[in-house]
Amino acid sequence: MRYDYMIVDVFSDVAFGGNQLAVLTDARGLTTEAMQLITREFNFAESTFVLPPDDPAHAAKVRIFTPARELPFAGHPTVGTACALVMAGAQPAGEFVLEEGVGPVPVTTRKDGELYTARLRLDRGPERPESVASAEDMAAVLSLPASEIRDVFGSGMGVNFAFVEVASSEAVDRSALDHAAWRRVLADSWGSQVYVFAGELRKGGEIYARMFAPGFGIAEDAATGAAAAAIAGAAGLRHGRDLAFDIRQGVKMGRPSLIRASARVEDGKVVEIGVGGATAFVATGQIEVPDQLLARG
């Protein structure tokens, strides 16, 4: 059986930048095994599969896969799928809700001429680990001198990350994942995904980042919305006030992306996190799925 798909580039306003995403806009009948195999076939950081919602008031249910596993939530697949549904005429631009593994995720979409943008909203604060790796261990993971590590902390919004602040954007670019050190320090830890950044986590600030996720089958990610949500939540808790900042990612890979992240804080608690950006159309097509990978009935 043939299934329609779209390819979009997320957190970029032009094609061939940002983070690639394959969206199967009607995935009814596909088994979980089929979704995983299709994701490996596209070999993007993530692919999404759109299904009818459990709650008819919502727009759709979305399942998100990396080449190695299914995720309960991810930012660039949420933003990209929302824009793809508007591009395909399946949803009008505006606000609607996508059902994901973490629960309902409200998304606000806009269409300005040929420019499509979306912003997801999470109405809660981040999860934090009880402990994190030492600066020395994280320096070894990133193949950097320990003197260049400024801070290490963990934060997650359905997907957990080890965040490493370094002294400069040049240090970010010099980072190289040492897989032996990663296996020793992070592979079985609370947050095995490594997000290295430099810049200002403040209102009106900008950070420059890279993200490595070998546990998800992702050597390096061009734009990581789930990490943007998690670091915005962590920054909101740290500063105790509302803030919004930009994230530049994917530059070293030749796929520059721009993510806009925000956190709203009330009484010292993060009550809302937002992540948004543009999505560019790339292609449509069909994929043939063998009958043995379809759900019976």
For residues 232 and 265, membership in a common domain is answered with yes
Query: Is 129 contained in some domain?
Result: no
Claim to verify: residue 101 and residue 151 sit in the same structural domain: no
* 130 in a structural domain: no
Domain assignment of residue 163, yes or no: yes
Is 62 in the same domain as 80?
A: yes
Q: Are residues 53 and 168 in the same domain?
A: no
pTM of the predicted protein model: 0.96
Shared domain for 41 and 64, answered yes or no, is yes
Sign of CA dihedral 62, 274, 173, 187: negative
Indicate whether 256 and 142 sit together in one domain. Answer: yes
Residues 26 and 150 in one domain: no
Catalytic residue selected from 46, 99, 100, 220: 46
The reply to whether 128 falls in a domain is no
pLDDT at res. 297: 60
What digits encode the pLDDT tens for the residues 2-39?
999 999 999 999 999 999 999 999 999 999 999 999 99
Specify if 89 maps to a domain: yes
Residue 185 lies in a domain: yes
Tell me the C-alpha distance between 221 and 291, whole Å. Answer: 32
Does 162 reside within a domain?
yes
CB contact at 8 A, 71 and 49:
no
Which of 69, 68, 99 is closest to 81 using CA atoms?
99
Indicate whether 228 belongs to any domain.
Answer: yes
**What whole-number distance in Å separates Cα of residue 124 and Cα of residue 210?**
25
150 with 115, same domain?
no
53-86 in b/e form (b: 16+ CB < 10 A) is beeeebbbbbbbbbbeeebebbbbbbbbbbbbbb
Q: How many CB atoms neighbour CB 114 within 10 A?
A: 9
Q: CA torsion, points 155, 110, 83, 255, in degrees to nearest 10?
A: -70
Q: For the domain that residue 153 is a member of, what is the CATH number?
A: 3.10.310.10
Same domain, 69 and 171: no
Judge if 205 and 153 occupy the same domain: yes
Q: Which pLDDT score is estimated for 45? A: 96
Where the chain has pLDDT below 70, the residues are: 297
Inter-axis angle of helices 75-87 and 225-239, to 10 degrees?
120
Quick one: pLDDT at residue 100? Answer: 98
Please check whether residues 151 and 87 belong to one and the same domain: no
Q: Does the annotation count 127 as an active-site position?
A: no
Q: Determine how many CB atoms are found less than 10 A away from the CB of residue 132.
A: 21
The residue range of the domain holding 42 is: 2-123+280-293
Number of domains present in the structure of the chain: 2
32 and 96 in a single domain? The answer is yes
Instruction: Give the torsion sign (CA, 36, 37, 39, 40).
Output: positive
